[in-house]
Amino acid sequence: MKFIFSSSLMLFFFLQYSSCAKAIEADSISNNTEKQMVTAKTYTVANSAELNALSLQPGDKVIMKSGEWKSQLINFKAKGTAENPITLVAETKGSVILTGNSNLKIDGEWLIVDGLSFKNGFSLKDDVVVFSKTTSNSRLTNTNIEDYNPSDKTVDYKWVSLFGKNNRVDHCSISGKTHQGTTLVVWLDDKANYHQIDHNYFGPRPDLANNGGETIRIGTSTYSMNDSYTTVENNIFDKCSGEVEIISIKSGYNKILNNLFYECVGTVTFRHGNHSEVGNNYFVGNGITNTGGIRIIGENQKVHGNYLYKIAGRTLRSAISIMNAYENPALSDYWKVKNADIQYNVIVDAREAFVLGAGKDGTRTVAPDGVTIANNYVINPTTLLVTQDDPKNLKIENNQLDGGTLISGFVKMGNDLELSDGVWQKKNASKKPFWLNTAIGPGWKKDNRSFIFK
């Protein structure tokens, strides 16, 4: 009994000690958190030298004084935390004007840049805004890049380069790029990066008349068989006509969702990689020559719920174009379309609604395999279906047509659709187009926007 009692007593004291230790540890964590919050500092800086000299800690805030910041090379380098990010913010949103040869490097973890404006200048060497390769969970928001062009239009630099992982570009206005190079690039390596690009206004970009004028490119040919998992959502692309590809997808498992492509002379293109999705977007061509829709290359791509209005392009720029491929493609070539799933799209007044085997020639000889075109609605097409090559395992079924000659896989349209906010939508499931009730671009900047269905 005595031994049992002593063991019980020892157990009692051990439990009491453990409880006290945990309480002390919890108090210590709480005190450390409170200390961290208390010791977070706010700095006000007038130039990049003052900013670059700071040793920033989680929770710190750096305020950039209002005015012109001419030829300032800003290196925002620090490590925040999820609970206490480090912020770099304009004293008044939009009042910090970066001119001359200014640029910005975001380098670290849990960093936020808010409210800057780049204009009246151009970059000499680096891209205008760069998220470094080691940057993660960081954000560029409420920022403007406008007409930041060199006089030599052949100079190639990007306006935003996204390296690293889990970074976000949102509520920015990026407009008027006239020189060579993609506007925004998601750079890929051998690991997925999970970036998010949302609620931005991408303003007019004129045709470069050659390759390299995409508004967004996700990946490169070199890493095109790797997966990115980037989401591009709730953005406006206004007359972004730099080249045939408005968005060029060159990696796997990306999502292009609920964006507006307004009078863009080009297409959203699954250029390389597999398993990506283009869904619930609005393509408004208004009958402008060479306006395009969606071009499909690769395996297991999904195209669903998109609204395509007066797309005037043909073949590679048709409303929905399914391409032919090379026999033994290199990474930079055209790869075979396999298992493309095209459903629940609404196509109105298109010059060519669907093209099969688009681009067939002496080298692009491999037809698509396993294409499904089902449950789509087509209204008044000039041409419903163009077949440049015969796909294998083609399934066309349960599509509805109004204002054209019925072919196999299409039936006369019933009364499923209604016109709401200028858009033909399914009855009892209509929604207001996002740009009518959602804040797009910087809250402090009002871009000249007018999106009319003509």
* Domains in the chain with CATH codes: 149-436 (2.160.20.10)
Please tell me the distance from the alpha carbon of residue 24 to that of residue 20, in angstroms, as a whole number: 6
Take residue 363 and report the two structure tokens written for it. Answer: 């080298």
User: Quick one: how far is CA 202 from the chain centroid?
Assistant: 11
Of 366, 294, 272, the closest CA to residue 324 belongs to 366
CA distances from 221 to 78, 195, 248, 252 (A): 32, 18, 11, 12
pLDDT at 411 over 80: yes
Q: What average pLDDT does range 241-254 have in this prediction?
A: 97
Integer Cα distance of 154 and 72 in angstroms: 24
User: pLDDT, tens digit, for every residue of 8-66?
Assistant: 433 333 344 444 444 434 444 444 444 445 489 999 999 999 999 999 999 999 999 99
Contact between 300 and 339 under an 8 Å Cβ cutoff? The reply is: yes
pTM of the model: 0.91
Place of tokens 């912020």: 87
- Run of H or E residues at 235: none
pLDDT on residue 280: 98
Query: pLDDT by residue (tens digit) across 158-200?
Result: 999 999 999 999 999 999 999 999 999 999 998 999 999 999 9
SS3 405: coil
Given a contact cutoff of 8 angstroms between Cβ atoms, the answer to whether 112 and 136 are in contact is: no
Which one-letter amino acid corresponds to residue 252? Answer: G
